[in-house]
A and B are shown apart, each in its own frame.
Chain A
């Protein structure tokens, strides 16, 4: 019995001290101001906010948008985005429609762009894309074409775009050419005149500042966990509000 008490006491002490060390290392959710520059003025969204006091956003994408990896749906980035935008834009009715379907890539999302954006009368589409295309090794030219096509469809419906690029996680970092996909997205954003939310660069800065993967990635090495989802949602809302209300 004494041995047992000792054992459990040691276990608890170890847990608390280890966990305490890990907790103390918890880093803040932040990004350098230049990384939050969307490179676009978001005129349609600004007009909607100032004139109609309403902002309708479609969150298009795959598992990051769906919220896979979050322990609770309220931590999914589109939900956090809605909450933060409402707080930062008082008096504006913010609607965020989650159109994330896990596992889909640029091609599948382009195919449903019309039916998913049209009925919601969105002024802003946040298209989280690139990771699944990179994992599936979609040829870069094809990836570029699908992005252009998807943006054209959404624009015809009156929406503005922010492209959200890949997540910086072990499964993506290990790919030989993940930065090529990020580069293509930046090129398409410039060419088409859309916004670009540099998720890859923001998360890489977290990592380079010493934030361990475990803080923002689930154990599959691919999906964002609670912290990652919440933080991306906060930073994106910050970036949008900074653009609309400089």
Chain B
């Protein structure tokens, strides 16, 4: 198995599989509210969470997958393939929506608890279901936890047009992407949602910045070695910033520590917005990414450890595993809310979910005939 992963026209950077797989596990765990196991995920130790990892790596792998295709077959073909991928994501999202509603309806009918049906009505599905369906197809109506794929769909659709641009002018693309991000923040721009007055939980106009940072990093590739000239100050800054954000994150759990944070710091940092991805979150993710790049070269031996294989497999089949994870998180939520919510139940539900995702990923690899090459 291991010899085969080096096969193909170019060597697959298995760091991407590993960290994307890890992000998928984290997203699943964090989507279960008040889950004890969240203590093992990044968001407990700082400002950013697995969403940043997932979106950044998606941008990175999008360039790897489609820039070669563009070089060989031209931009129209590459753009068409990206379009096909966007369509797959869209179909996956709509399917997920149907499963999501069906699961709630099934549990509600099976257990004779109207509470769950009421819950769907609260989301906006009850008042006018036909309208809600229309808004679902338009991606304006996205019930809880079905927010990430629509973000990915919109951003990847933009990438079909941005691919030739980012390949030629990676730095310029980052600059333009930053301008859009800053404008979205400054003018409070977001896409409209449903019911009226709602907006996208993950604002694509802001979150696209993380995606294009990933895309530019992939284009620059070895040229990022420029950063190594400033290795000592950058490393020091990254470590200091991660330490600072860990202190702040810990202060949310220990009031004695919260008392020690001077209020001017609070005035500067809060609120640390997720919808419009606060600058502090971007910086936190970049600090992690920088240190990981230093600490984990693509040739690092541990990347190929057998014990990490389930994570890598999940990362290789990210769309399927992402959808499965979203569905499982909802199941976990229903189990915990309506049957039993104990620490043991949370641990068991989390571990079974991760096991299910891993088994599915192995299945997908087997079906593809070995470690598959996946599009972004």
Contacts and interface: CB of A to CB of B under 8 A. Distances in A.
Interface in A159-206: 170-171, 173-176
A32 interface: no
A170 B43 contact: no
B64 interface: no
B255 interface: yes
A23 B343 contact: yes
Given A15-B40, A73-B123, A220 B197 contact: no
B40 A102 contact: no
Contacts of B43: 219
Interface stretch (A4-12, A44-52, A140-148): A4-12
Interface string B341-359: 0010011000100000000
Contacts, number: 120
Given A1-B306, A15-B347, A73 B122 contact: yes
Q: Looking at chain B's contact residues, is the secondary structure mostly helix, strand, loop, or mixed?
A: helix
B271 A213 contact: no
A16 B270 contact: no
Interface in B219-271: 249, 251-255, 258, 263-267, 269-271
A19 interface: yes
A217 interface: yes
A74 B271 CA distance: 24
A105 B18 CA distance: 44
Interface residues of B, number: 47
Contact of A72 (B37, B199, B333): B333
Interface residues of A, number: 46
Contacts of A91: none
Contacts of A8: 307
Interface of B: 33-34, 36-37, 39-40, 43, 47, 49, 115, 118-119, 122-123, 144-145, 188, 197-199, 249, 251-255, 258, 263-267, 269-274, 278, 305-307, 333, 343, 346-347, 351
Q: Return the 8 tightest CB-CB contacts between A and B, nearest first.
A: A174-B266, A19-B36, A171-B270, A4-B307, A222-B271, A71-B33, A73-B122, A214-B252
Interface of A: 1, 3-4, 7-8, 11-12, 14-16, 18-20, 22-23, 66, 71-74, 76, 79, 101-103, 170-171, 173-176, 207, 210-214, 217-223, 226-227
